[in-house]
Structure 1
Amino acid sequence: FKDMTVKKNLVTWNAMISGYVENSRPEDGLKLFRAMLEEGIRPNSSGLSSALLGCSELSALQLGRQIHQIVCKSTLCNDVTALTSLISMYCKCGELGDAFKLFKVMQKKDVVAWNAMISGYAHHSNAEKALCLFRE
């Protein structure tokens, strides 16, 4: 990718990152995500979602937290897709407390956000909390 003569933009970065992560190469996807940041390209919710999926697959909680900071310092701080991706990453990494804190402060929750939190509780054998959220 770095040797490509085609001008790289956010769309090409996102496509490559997503392609790596979705094809069982999350390490390569996350390397590209870091390279994108180093080149001064600001991620959008699509790129963040792919990077956070890569973090989830590798249990790379520390990098996931760094991406959370990027979200907090950007215009994506209220983006439902970005926040739901963070919730999903925290749940998959076993950080249900952090996931729920983020879920609680979300101004707008769609069905995907609800499902991410409910699934997180269910996956980690916390049926009571999953049912409680489901009933809300």
Structure 2
Amino acid sequence: MFPSEHEWASYKPLLKQVVEEICNPDRPDPLDIEHVSSGLTDLLKTGFSMFMKVNRPHPGDHPLLIIFMVGGVSVSEVKLVKDLVATRKPGTQVIVLSSVLLTPHSAVELLFAPDRLQPDAHI
């Protein structure tokens, strides 16, 4: 007997999950993103939040979204993010930055590198 459609294993990239949380119109608090207060006014708001309900800022509130991927990003992932933001939050500008632009060859090379724990000295 074959498994039904909802029992098949599926893959959903973490980057896609995070961007969907940011662009979600129902606006729950994102689980993978934390707001860190900085500055005097933010500290005062944090202090007053003990006495009254103060909403934390949501990443989807801003017209500019900057995503920095440590360890590399592929061109298809950049396109995925741009398409998601364009369909879910039109008018929002998105900038995707990364430490490395991954190619299929470099991804396989990094995956099977013998010294994965040793950083490259020539970078």
User: Normalized against structure 2, the TM-score is what?
Assistant: 0.32
Give the structure, 1 or 2, with the largest relative contact order (CA under 8 Å, sep 6 or more). 2
Name the structure with the higher strand share: 2
Name the structure with the higher helix share: 1
User: Normalized against structure 1, the TM-score is what?
Assistant: 0.30
